[in-house]
Structure 1
Amino acid sequence: MSLILEEISVKREHSFRSKIDVLPHIEVPWHYHPEYELIFIEKSHGTLVVGDCIDHFNDGDMIFIGPNTPHIMKNDDLFYSKESEERVIAWVVHFKEDSFGKEFFLLPEMKRIKEMLINSFKGIRIDGSTKYKIIQLLQNLHNSDYSQRIIILLQILQLIAQSEDLEYLASDSFVESFKQSSNQKLYKIYEYVSENFQQKIDLDEAAKVANMSKTAFCRFFKSKTQKTFSEFLNEMRINYAQKLLAEGKLTVAQIAYECGFNSPSYFNKQFKANTGKTPLQKKEHSY
């Protein structure tokens, strides 16, 4: 399945969209759109992929995603069971860079917000007191109309721009690779890895996804990302492993297999090479 451009409709009387979704499960595929997206997950849990970041999402999470960043949220399997009583409740805001005029965010007073918007291509997880202040503003936004909607959205953006409660999701190398290329093949490779990283991934199969020979694929991938496919795959797996270590629910050996490594010893070696610490040291540091 290719990366999908999602079309986002806005009411004629509004300059941006805000809504509350109540669903049995999330159905949006691997996609992108030209709008900025703020999403507050009031109730739901599953897997989040933003660029080359793979993470969990849970009740109470808040994510801000920049325009044209490929992403997907997929619920845990129990949401898709016919007998499931689980429900998704999500508050969502979409707006474009020019929603308030083509040069609005170029105004001197918008400098901090503009800088934050540029960095949002990586995806931002919002936490702490900032998140709770934004939740209150989202509730006000849902019940507001006319110019009050714009005022509240700007208050939200200002809170994000000045906050220290932020975690950037995708890597800098991902951002650079997509600045340099809008190549659909690269999107397909990221999608393939994000869906299959927990299993054995064969280089031949990855080359087939890109519809290239293995030699051409290796050369193409290195030229776009400045790293080998194996390095990229290990980095993506280790990024996910760090999330699991922070949660503290699994042993190091369990995490190794959960992230697609075929042995704990190889996982330990790759983890230390990428982070400078062993998984056990990282786990102890998280507590």
Structure 2
Amino acid sequence: MSLVLEEISVKREHSFRSKIDVLPHIEVPWHYHPEFELIFIEKSHGTLVVGDCIDHFNDGDMIFIGPNTPHIMKNDDLFYSKESEERVIAWVVHFKEDSFGKEFFLLPEMRRIKEMLINSFKGIRIEGSTKYKIIQHLKNLHTSDYSQRIIVLLQILQLIAQSEDLEYLASDSFVESFKQSSNQKLYKIYEYVSENFQQKIDLEEAAKIANMSKTAFCRFFKSKTQKTFSEFLNEMRINYAQKLLAEGKLSVSQIAYECGFNSPSYFNKQFKAFTGKSPKEKKSEIQSSYI
């Protein structure tokens, strides 16, 4: 499946879109759009992929995603069962950089917001008190009209811009490779890995996805990402492993298999090479930060 450009419609009387979705499950492909997107998941859970970041999303999560960043949210399997009584409730805002005029975010007063918007290409998870303040503004936004809508959105953007409760999702290397390439083959590889990283993935299969020989694929991938395919795959798996370690629900061995490694010892070796710490050391570090 190719990366899909999502067309987002806005009412004629509005300069940006805000809505509340109530759905049985999320049904969107690997996609991108020229709009910034703020999404508050009031109720839902599943897997989130933003660029080369793979993470869980749960009730109460809030994500801000920059324009043209490839992403997908997929519910856990139980949402797609015919007997499921699960429901998705999501508050969503979409706006373009020029929604309020091409020069608006270039005004001196918009400097901090402009810097945040540039960094949002990586995708941002919003946490802490900032998130709860934004939720109140979203409720106000839903009932506002005329110029009050713009005022409330700017209040939200200012909260994000001055917050320290932010976690950036995609890696810097992904951002650079994506900016430098409009190649659908690369997007297909990102999509394939994000959907299958928990299983065995070999170089030959990845080359088939790109419709290349193994040799040509290796050259192509290294030229676009500055990494070998194996390095990219392990990095994606280890990033996900760090999320699981932070959750504290699985043992190190369970996390190794959950992330697609075929042995805990190989996982430990790759994890330490990537992070500088063993999984157990990293887990202790995370737990001590909450004390």
Q: TM-score, normalised by structure 2?
A: 0.98
Partner Cα distance (1:113, 1:92) in 2: 19
1:84-126 per-residue CA deviation (whole Å, 9 max, x = no partner) reads: 0000000000000100001110111110000000000000000
Shift of 1:142: 0.1
Aligned-partner SS, 2:27: coil
* Paired residues of 1:45 and 1:59 also in contact (CA < 8 A): yes
Shift of 1:37: 0.1
Partner Cα distance (2:72, 2:49) in 1: 5
1:221-240 per-residue CA deviation (whole Å, 9 max, x = no partner) reads: 00111110000000000000
Which residue matches 1:286? 289
Which residue matches 1:145? 145
Which residue matches 2:99? 99
Aligned-partner SS, 2:39: strand
Shift of 1:251: 0.6
* Paired residues of 1:198 and 1:257 also in contact (CA < 8 A): yes
Segments of structure 1 that go 5 or more residues without pairing to the other structure are none
Shift of 1:279: 0.5
Partner Cα distance (2:273, 2:252) in 1: 16
Which residue matches 1:129? 129
* CA distance 1:49–1:286, change in 2 (3 Å): farther
Which residue matches 2:159? 159
Aligned-partner SS, 1:232: helix
1:32-83 per-residue CA deviation (whole Å, 9 max, x = no partner) reads: 0000000000000000000000000000000000000000000000000011
Shift of 1:286: 5.9
1:188-219 per-residue CA deviation (whole Å, 9 max, x = no partner) reads: 10000000000000101100111111101000
Shift of 1:183: 1.0
Aligned-partner SS, 2:190: helix
Segments of structure 2 that go 5 or more residues without pairing to the other structure are none
Partner Cα distance (2:47, 2:173) in 1: 22
Question: Percent identity, aligned pairs only?
Answer: 94
* Paired residues of 1:245 and 1:286 also in contact (CA < 8 A): no
1:103-161 per-residue CA deviation (whole Å, 9 max, x = no partner) reads: 11011111000000000000000000000000000000000000000000000000000
* Paired residues of 1:44 and 1:59 also in contact (CA < 8 A): yes
Partner Cα distance (2:9, 2:289) in 1: 42
1:237-287 per-residue CA deviation (whole Å, 9 max, x = no partner) reads: 000000001101011000000000000000000000000110011115565
Partner Cα distance (1:73, 1:242) in 2: 19
* CA distance 1:230–1:286, change in 2 (3 Å): farther
Aligned-partner SS, 1:67: coil
* CA distance 1:11–1:164, change in 2 (3 Å): same
Partner Cα distance (2:246, 2:112) in 1: 31
Partner Cα distance (1:239, 1:182) in 2: 25
Aligned-partner SS, 2:72: strand
Shift of 1:179: 1.2
Partner Cα distance (2:74, 2:18) in 1: 21
Moved over 6 A (4+): none
* Paired residues of 1:246 and 1:286 also in contact (CA < 8 A): no
Aligned-partner SS, 2:167: strand
Partner Cα distance (2:74, 2:289) in 1: 26
Partner Cα distance (2:70, 2:48) in 1: 11
Q: TM-score, normalised by structure 1?
A: 0.99
